Chain A
Amino acid sequence: MAGLELLTDQGYRLDGRKATELRKVQARMGVFAQADGSAYLEQGNTKALAVVYGPHEMRGSRSRALHDRAVINCQYSMATFSTAERKRRPHGDRKSTEMSLHLKQTFEAAVMTQLFPRSQIDIYVKILQSDGGNYSVCVNAATLAVIDAGIPMRDYVCACTVGFVDETPLADLCYAEESGGVSSLALALLPRGGQIALVQMDARLHQDHLETLIEAAMTACKGVSKVLDEVVRQHLQEASVLSRE
């Protein structure tokens, strides 16, 4: 591959991280008063805002309602200023429709939709700054927003992307690494049970390496889940102290 050396001989990556090291995750829950649940999450330089409305009555076409469970409606979008090149992204382009569908599948695996027949849960996610791993940051932000809305879930859903360079899996890719021709894999995990909610990979990889890559992704997801857990507990304590007094 030309130019960029993604992993030095000393085992450091472009931004100075080790191979298995995650980027710094910072998050806040309950950022909006009007929504049922909301969260803001930064993972390195990727920043996302997630908002949840519902469960509520079906809006729009009522025929989509399911008699035994809730419908999850996801919408993913990117701000015009989120990438290096300023670009207007009209609502409903191919890429964001696909991403919305992936988010929907991920959350259908985790949210206990059967408790809310004939209703709808809306999850809106917006990328404010994009620096790789958009899907995983969206999933992590949306998880916090769903928890903030008080919607029952089996477990957290944590997601992470991993790449494969020089026989080494790299956790939590940034944009430079993603665009550097690495075969990357995105994985969403329910960490406690170890169930996989979604795996996505559109690059070529030798079959023998797949297992190590998934293994590395799962460890990275568990790392993310620890951080999210801390955020939720902190938020819970602050809120419960206020309401107790």
Chain B
Amino acid sequence: MGAGATCIRLEKNVDRIAARYGMHAEITIMPRHVHLSLWDTDSADCVTAIASVAKCPISFNVNTRLSELSWEIADGKTDFTQARAVLEGIDSFDRQSEWLLLCLVPAANAAFCGLFGGDAIAMFIVAIATLAGYYLKQSMLRRGIDLRVTVFACAFVSAVLGATDILFSFGDTPAVALGTSVLYLVPGIPFLNSFSDVLYRHYICALGRFADALVLTCCLSAGLCAAMLLMGTGMF
């Protein structure tokens, strides 16, 4: 859940594991907690557990490995003890190389600038602005600073650097450079997850995820607006 799985994926995985052990599972997914009730299909015995959602970064690698594990259990390829060992081996906090991210994310945001019609100079400025902002994001999160404060600060720094294209008239598309310099901070996966949850009628969880994504978008917009005011570029 914390790693960014959709509610329908969670339900399917839990159901197939429970079915393997002759159980029936009912799962209630709330934004910060998960309730799981298990019934023995041969008797009326029922066990309910409530757990908090782990605060971990989004990781499709973790989602993929958990999904694989659920099928291995369902198909009888892994017994309970082995499954437990595999589960404990799946690190919710698996990290990408920070240096790799510092190369890929600026390149991606520069490409994004190109998609919005930015010229080569705008793309270069966006890459530099993203590099600085993303480095700051990594440093602040490593120090345990609140994500919302981090997003505000990173958006501010990236937008100030992005605004240099307007201030010094380097290229022909300065507005695109400024506008796209903060786009790497948009919480795309939580937005997509929330709408996906709506389609499967997990409204409460969807609302929670949407609110989280909206708050982060407001923080990045506030950082951008503050930078625009400081640099005197005018707002929109």
Tell whether A and B belong to one assembly: no
